Amino acid sequence: MNNFMVMWETDRKHPKYEQLYRFIVGEIRNGHFKENEKLPSKRVLGEYLTVSGNTIETAYDMLVQEGYIYSKPRSGFFVSKIDALAPTIRLKNAIEDRANKPSYRYNFKTNSVDTKTFPFSTWAKISRDMLYKDLLDSGEGQGDLCLRESIAKYIREFRGTLCTAEQVVVGAGMEYLIGIVSSLLEKDSAFALENPGYYKTYNLLKNLRRKMVLISVDKQGMQLDELRKTDATIAYLTPSHQFPTGVVMPVGRRIEFLKWAEEAENRYIIEDDYDSEFRFGSRPIPSIQGLTESDKVIYISTFSRMLAPSIRIAYMVLPLGLLGEYKEKFRYEASTISRFEQHTLNEFMDVGYFCRHINRSRKLYKKKKDALVDAIHQYFEKGTVEIIGADYGLHLLLRLDTELSEEAIIQRAKKNSIKIHGISQYYLSGTVLPHKACLVLGYAGMSLEEIDRGIALLSRVIASAN
Amino acid sequence: MNNFMVMWETDRKHPKYEQLYRFIVGEIRNGHFKENEKLPSKRVLGEYLTVSGNTIETAYDMLVQEGYIYSKPRSGFFVSKIDALAPTIRLKNAIEDRANKPSYRYNFKTNSVDTKTFPFSTWAKISRDMLYKDLLDSGEGQGDLCLRESIAKYIREFRGTLCTAEQVVVGAGMEYLIGIVSSLLEKDSAFALENPGYYKTYNLLKNLRRKMVLISVDKQGMQLDELRKTDATIAYLTPSHQFPTGVVMPVGRRIEFLKWAEEAENRYIIEDDYDSEFRFGSRPIPSIQGLTESDKVIYISTFSRMLAPSIRIAYMVLPLGLLGEYKEKFRYEASTISRFEQHTLNEFMDVGYFCRHINRSRKLYKKKKDALVDAIHQYFEKGTVEIIGADYGLHLLLRLDTELSEEAIIQRAKKNSIKIHGISQYYLSGTVLPHKACLVLGYAGMSLEEIDRGIALLSRVIASAN
């Protein structure tokens, strides 16, 4: 029994039965208690350790349940056969790879937004109200009906889509929704992506292990004749504002794409409408989805850009032809968005705050866009620059008439703490045709002053090099 | 010009340029304005319609941008070639298939929880505080570090896992996380699922287009020797409480599985710890993940069962060996959970509310479990029933000594507004060996009274049939 030297905790942090349990497990695993060795009876051990029978009882119970020991009727408890793995692998304390990202004084990245426009107190107020609604039980996997109705209403009105709430699927981010789409479409069908295009979509589809073909973009968007030369059956388009070129696809080309899709059962168009709300001067172009009553378009968009990046609510409109399969395949999956947030957004849209917010943001971003355009005209020599696609979306292209390569400009800018991208960086395939240096400038996240100073500095940096 | 009969809105709901734009689009699409037909000059049309030049300007602009019309230098505007698709497909107003689900008086389903235990005011209070933190910008794709640290701390302490926050990935539901795991594991590697098992996992992996093999469950859990006969490389286990049999996998078998995984590079164990918190009598069994320092276990669990089904926060612990690939593949993906909710949960855990809540719920569920067991003993004739796996998880098995088939019992119960499942329903493959009728009874969502009355009625229903 002197092998039962249990060191009771003085601070009593854990119940005695647990301490005893841990002790015996330790002894078994370090081999002090051998296979098939008999353990003292509960009574004897209880007396020896001067603890209640219950304590021993519970500990032995746990040991039996977990298989460390076994009991033989009328003969007691014995150590089971446990050939433990040698704990070789040391648990390395992996380090956060916050790959010391450089921070820039002037950051013209394209994916940021101005969270200052967010109607914070309103959102907070509604959220608070929602917290007192009974929304703890699981809602609908597709998203709660009320929110889907608000969304359907909104995109019918503002995006000209033809859809009912029934076709709307709400999910935590476009990545998640495209994952759903991927499992609704044929396993081996290839996606056609715009080139240059959005690397996140490319990366996402790669993770989903989808076949992809890259189709060049001309002044009207993805080139259909090039698409026709491939076996791709899903065209992934950003027609209202191609990323990054800013091209708007004209109605003629849109209709040709719809025709292409109509030609075969398994052909579909994914219409990524990521920033159609931000169009300056005239109202947004109606979506392809609503152009005809064709059932060939999967319309997808997100609220993260319109509200705040940390609010993860995206949505898509499924063609009626895919709805049945969706309902069948995803009938068990719960929504990925907390119902509190779903109902907060629903209220926010219902009461009209959302539209007001969009209009406010649009005005603010227009100011910033104008400031950027003005700054370019002010600081760059006339005739040496061309601005492309400034009228919609939250970035524009700046084509430069200079001997410097895009890369050279980006590097010089970086040295001066200016973050800019070159269009070459958005070519998803390696081959980039030689072209004039063309910068992609996002401005949504910058202040008017930063925009002005940033462009002033950029122009000097480039000039000094010529 | 008399073909320019624009009907201006009297209520002025839309700006005139937009009404004009809509009018012209309509005329072009219904063919009244023919291909290459010349439109009146802006000036002329402005005078004819007595609207400002700006109005015409904007409308024509939009029409040009969208490709409905084109302009020839020094000769004016012309209608483009638009061979619109005939709008054939009528938009069917798809109907919600709320396949009139029957509602039961006594519902013994296994997946419900008692939301009454949820510490609502505390959660609401913390949420309100979080709303005033600056959490609008996008956080970490993996989940914000503070929450990952709280989770790592919690499972190290209560589940005996060996992990750092760095290995923790937070996501909106286990389905989403398993989607990530699927793209980290070899494309063609097969998953081994427990049979009987959890149909949702089966369905999810089917949607992810993964190969699956079904392995029978014995009194210690999944049968390893049967697994060894297959080419499956990923073992999906619910060791702390196999669903639905309630079997707890003993340490010996756990270690054998770890050994099996160690034998090949590409072998992994997915440890689904879905309801380990609800263990009555003794504390939960430590996880396989922490049993040895083997780097072969993907530990996964969810908060939805512990907090509320509508709160969609799940997490997993990745092996260090998969961490690099995860960071590489998912570097662009944003978290699927709003940061407000992430930080609310973090605070909730940090301040100790979470553990208190778990203890409270455990006590409540124990009461319900006891009530269920008592009711069974009270209403069923001694010796005619056997209760299995009542000590953990939120359901138990009731094996009946009766001539009635499981199906017959379920149907009779249904007629009496009692919802119960039979174990046969959880066999993922068709072949179910003949066995005594065995019911799967969940009780978490029922009141003590409902449990008592439900069992009383069930016993009568069965007795009356014998």
Best probe of the A interface among B28, B145, B312, by most A CBs < 10 A, is: B312
Location of each CATH 1.10.10.10 domain in chain A: 1-93
CA angle centred on A400, ends A399 and A402, rounded to 5°: 155
Report the sign of the C-alpha dihedral through residues A206, A212, A218, A222, in that order. Answer: negative
CA distance A163 to B310: 27
Location of each CATH 3.90.1150.10 domain in chain A: 106-115+359-465
Minimal CA separation from B303 to chain A, in Å: 12
In terms of CA atoms, which chain A residue is nearest residue B94?
Answer: A166
In terms of CA atoms, which chain B residue is nearest residue A338?
Answer: B311
Q: Do A200 and B332 touch (CB under 8 A)?
A: yes
Sites in chain A below the pLDDT cut of 70: 1-2, 82-102, 281-284, 430-431, 466
Minimal CA separation from B193 to chain A, in Å: 17
Minimal CA separation from B402 to chain A, in Å: 29
Dump the DSSP string for A374-442: HHHHHHSPTTSEEEES-SBSSEEEEEE-SSS-HHHHHHHHHHTTEE-EEGGGG-SSS-------EEEEE
In terms of CA atoms, which chain B residue is nearest residue A119?
Answer: B136
pTM of the model: 0.78
Query: Nearest CB to A310: which of B85, B137, B311?
Result: B137
Q: Do A82 and B255 touch (CB under 8 A)?
A: yes
Best probe of the B interface among A259, A310, A329, A346, by most B CBs < 10 A, is: A310
- Residue B269 tokens read as 């164990």
Residues 6+ apart with CB under 8 A from A297: A258, A261, A268, A269, A270, A271, A287, A288, A289, A317, A319
Give, as one character, the DSSP assignment of residue B166: G
3-state secondary structure of A83: coil
Per-block average pLDDT, block size 10, for chain B (466 residues)? Answer: 73 79 80 82 84 85 81 86 44 37 84 84 87 84 95 89 93 95 94 94 94 94 97 96 90 94 96 84 78 92 89 95 93 91 94 89 93 96 89 90 90 94 87 81 94 95 82
User: Burial, A453: exposed, middle or buried (Cβ in 10 Å; 0-12, 13-18, 19+)?
Assistant: middle
Fold (topology level) of B1-93: Arc Repressor Mutant, subunit A (1.10.10)
What does the pLDDT read at residue A107? 93
Dump the DSSP string for A54-67: HHHHHHHHHHHHTT
Minimal CA separation from A132 to chain B, in Å: 8
Give, as one character, the DSSP assignment of residue B115: G
Q: Do A179 and B179 touch (CB under 8 A)?
A: yes
- Residue A110 tokens read as 């394209």
Dump the DSSP string for A3-58: T------SS--S-HHHHHHHHHHHHHHTTSSPTTPBPPPHHHHHHHHT--HHHHHH
Residues 6+ apart with CB under 8 A from A117: A357, A360, A361, A364
Q: Do B309 and A128 touch (CB under 8 A)?
A: no
Query: Nearest CB to B183: which of A62, A97, A208?
Result: A208
Is A106-115+359-465 CATH 3.90.1150.10?
yes
Minimal CA separation from A460 to chain B, in Å: 32
Q: Please report residues of A whose CB lies closer than 8 A to that of B138.
A: 304, 309-310
Q: Please report residues of B whose CB lies closer than 8 A to that of A218.
A: none
Query: Nearest CB to B68: which of A124, A251, A335?
Result: A251
Inter-CA distances, A197 with A222, A239, B338, Å: 10, 12, 27
Q: Please report residues of B whose CB lies closer than 8 A to that of A87.
A: 292-293
Say if CB A79 and CB A68 are below 8 A apart: yes
What does the pLDDT read at residue A207? 93
Best probe of the A interface among B126, B136, B157, B425, by most A CBs < 10 A, is: B136
Minimal CA separation from A256 to chain B, in Å: 9
Minimal CA separation from B66 to chain A, in Å: 4
Q: Please report residues of B whose CB lies closer than 8 A to that of A83.
A: 255
Q: Do A282 and B17 touch (CB under 8 A)?
A: yes
Q: Which residue has tokens 């032995």? A: A60
Query: Nearest CB to B203: which of A200, A251, A332?
Result: A332
Location of each CATH 3.40.640.10 domain in chain A: 119-355
What does the pLDDT read at residue B64? 82
Assign domain A119-355 to its CATH architecture: 3-Layer(aba) Sandwich (3.40)
Q: Do A90 and B58 touch (CB under 8 A)?
A: no
Q: Do A137 and B308 touch (CB under 8 A)?
A: yes
Enter the ipTM.
Answer: 0.75
Inter-CA distances, B255 with A30, A173, B261, B294, Å: 15, 39, 10, 10
